[in-house]
């Protein structure tokens, strides 16, 4: 509730008898809560609606009624035919195992012996004790030529034959 602070610390509501009478009169004329709030100092639209409700003033119907628009008939949209679902046959993965080419004595590089310039292609399970790296001389990057062919794929392989000139 909006109220005014009077001298001596007393709080007095703006709903004086005159303001209540003005509210009843304007409400009866069909004025909007916004218009009534503009005429009563310190009142808001919501305070007008609340006071009218507490006074039991009759609720009002809107001054103008808008006729509902008839629903337009929409033509049914043509849907694209659904493609049948299919499940691709699972094919077995081809696993290529290269024999580990290591140092000239046949040993492979371990985590402790691998150095720059050596092929770092992992051989075996990293959790196993016999895990190692290839150890051959690396060419352009981390892998030897054989392992680089396995690890890297050219984007050209996946393009249509007429589009391979892009790369």
Q: What is the pLDDT of residue 52?
A: 93
In a domain, 146, yes or no: yes
What is the number of alpha carbons within 13 Å of residue 80 lying toward its C-beta? 3
The pLDDT of residue 166 is above 60 = no
In a domain, 66, yes or no: no
Q: What is the pLDDT of residue 21?
A: 94
Cα 127 to Cα 111: distance, rounded to the nearest angstrom: 12
- Host domain of residue 37: 3-55
Which residues on neighbouring strands pair with residue 137, listed in sequence order? 118
In a domain, 118, yes or no: yes
Cα 167 to Cα 164: distance, rounded to the nearest angstrom: 6
Let me know whether 165 and 106 are in one domain: yes
CATH at residue 13: 1.10.10
Let me know whether 164 and 105 are in one domain: yes
Per-residue pLDDT tens digits for 135-157: 888 887 888 888 888 887 766 55
Per-residue pLDDT tens digits for 66-76: 677 888 888 88
> What mean pLDDT comes out for the span 82-105?
68
What is the number of alpha carbons within 13 Å of residue 109 lying toward its C-beta? 21
In a domain, 77, yes or no: no
The pTM is what?
0.35
Cα-based distances in Å from 33 to 29, 46, 61, 103, 149: 11, 8, 13, 94, 80
Residue with tokens 């249509």: 160
19-28, 36-45, 71-80, 93-102: lowest mean pLDDT where?
93-102
Number of structural domains, the chain? Answer: 2
In a domain, 80, yes or no: no
The pLDDT of residue 27 is above 80 = yes
Q: What is the pLDDT of residue 50?
A: 92
């Amino acid at each position: 509730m909006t109220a005014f602070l009077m001298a001596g610390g007393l709080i007095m509501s703006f709903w004086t008898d005159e303001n209540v009478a003005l509210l009843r009169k304007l409400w009866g004329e069909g004025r909007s809560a916004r218009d009534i709030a503009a005429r009563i100092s310190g009142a808001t639209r919501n305070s007008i609606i609340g006071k009218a409700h507490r006074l039991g003033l009759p609720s009002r119907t809107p001054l103008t009624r808008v006729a509902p628009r008839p629903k337009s008939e929409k033509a049914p949209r043509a849907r694209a035919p659904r493609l049948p679902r299919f499940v691709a046959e699972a094919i077995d993965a081809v696993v290529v195992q290269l024999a580990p080419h290591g140092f000239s004595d046949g040993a492979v590089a371990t985590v402790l012996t691998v150095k720059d310039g050596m092929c770092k292609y992992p051989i075996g399970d990293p959790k196993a004790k016999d895990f190692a790296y290839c150890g051959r001389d690396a060419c352009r990057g981390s892998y030897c030529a054989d392992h680089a062919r396995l690890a890297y794929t050219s984007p050209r392989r996946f393009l249509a034959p007429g589009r391979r000139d892009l790369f």
